[in-house]
Amino acid sequence: GAVVSQHPSRVICKSGTSVKIECRSLDFQATTMFWYRQFPKQSLMLMATSNEGSKATYEQGVEKDKFLINHASLTLSTLTVTSAHPEDSSFYICSAGRVTYEQYFGPGTRLTVT
Amino acid sequence: EDQVTQSPEALRLQEGESSSLNCSYTVSGLRGLFWYRQDPGKGPEFLFTLYSAGEEKEKERLKATLTKKESFLHITAPKPEDSATYLCAVPSIIQGAQKLVFGQGTRLTINP
**Residue B24 at interface with chain A, using a CB cutoff of 8 Å:** no
CB nearest A43 (choices: B31, B32, B105): B105
pLDDT of residue B27: 92
Residue B105 β-bridge partners: none
Find chain B residues with C-beta within 8 A of A35's C-beta: none
pLDDT of residue A113: 97
Higher pLDDT, B1 or B24: B24
Hey, CA dihedral for B8, B108, B6, B103, is it positive or negative? positive
Angle subtended at Cα A105 by Cα B51 and Cα A6, rounded to the nearest 5 degrees: 160
Cis peptide before B80 (omega within 30 of 0): no
β-pairing, A10-13 vs A109-113, is parallel
Contact A108 B97 (CB under 8 A): no
CB nearest A102 (choices: B43, B49, B104): B49
Rounded percentage of chain B residues whose pLDDT exceeds 90? 90
pLDDT of residue A80: 97
Radius of gyration of chain A (CA): 13
Mean pLDDT of A21-28: 94
**Chain A, window 1-60: residues with a beta carbon less than 8 angstroms from a chain B beta carbon:** 1-2, 4, 6, 32, 34, 43-44, 46, 49, 57
pLDDT greater than 70 at residue A1: no
CA B89 to chain centre: 7
CB nearest A104 (choices: B46, B103, B104): B46
Which among B42, B86, B94, B95 is the top mutation candidate for probing chain A, defined by the most A β-carbons within 10 Å of its own β-carbon?
Answer: B42
pLDDT greater than 90 at residue B94: no
**Residue A108 at interface with chain B, using a CB cutoff of 8 Å:** yes
- Closest chain B residue to A36 measured between Cα atoms? B43
User: How far, CA to CA in Å, does A58 sit from each of A31, A37, A51, A68, A71?
Assistant: 17, 13, 12, 10, 13
pLDDT of residue A54: 82
Q: Are B80 and B15 in contact (CB under 8 A)?
A: yes
Q: Which of B89, B88, B59 is nearest to B76 (CA)?
A: B59
| Per-residue pLDDT reduced to its tens digit, A52-63 | 878 899 999 999
Find chain A residues with C-beta within 8 A of B87's C-beta: 43
Contact B46 A32 (CB under 8 A): no
Q: Which of B75, B66, B71, B87 is nearest to A105 (CA)?
A: B87
| Per-residue pLDDT reduced to its tens digit, A63-100 | 999 999 998 888 999 999 999 999 999 999 999 998 88
Report the alpha-carbon distance of residue A109 to residue A111 in Å, rounded.
Answer: 6
pLDDT greater than 80 at residue B75: yes
B5 DSSP 8-state letter: E
